[in-house]
């Protein structure tokens, strides 16, 4: 996925936020593969999702937060 305002394709906090907010299935699959292979990526996913948890309509962030928590436990 080409990220807005980013000149790289690494999973930084901004890139993860972009994938969760605007990504399609293929982008989510890439984030999932990265998360499964790197614990630091899972921790970044949690950091990105945390500010959105108060919004009950931010279902994408709720999904990724629960997914990351399950993998980290």
Q: pLDDT tens digit string along 8-24?
A: 568 889 889 999 999 99
Instruction: Note the pLDDT of residue 1.
Output: 52
Query: What is the rounded distance in angstroms from the CA atom of residue 21 to the CA atom of residue 58?
Result: 9
Query: What is the rounded distance in angstroms from the CA atom of residue 73 to the CA atom of residue 69?
Result: 6
| pTM score of the predicted model | 0.86
Tokens of 36: 């499964």
Q: Rg of the chain's alpha carbons, rounded to an integer? A: 11
Kindly tell me if the per-residue pLDDT of 7 is higher than 70. Answer: no
Q: Give tens-digit pLDDT for 29-59.
A: 999 999 999 999 999 999 999 999 999 999 9
More confident residue, 67 or 2: 67
């Amino acid at each position: 996925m080409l990220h807005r305002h980013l000149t790289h394709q690494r999973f930084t906090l901004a890139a993860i936020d972009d994938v969760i907010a605007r990504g399609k299935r293929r982008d989510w699959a890439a984030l999932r593969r990265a998360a499964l292979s790197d614990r630091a990526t899972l921790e970044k996913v949690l950091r990105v999702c945390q500010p959105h948890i108060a919004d009950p309509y931010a279902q994408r962030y709720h999904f990724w937060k629960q997914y990351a928590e399950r993998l980290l436990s």
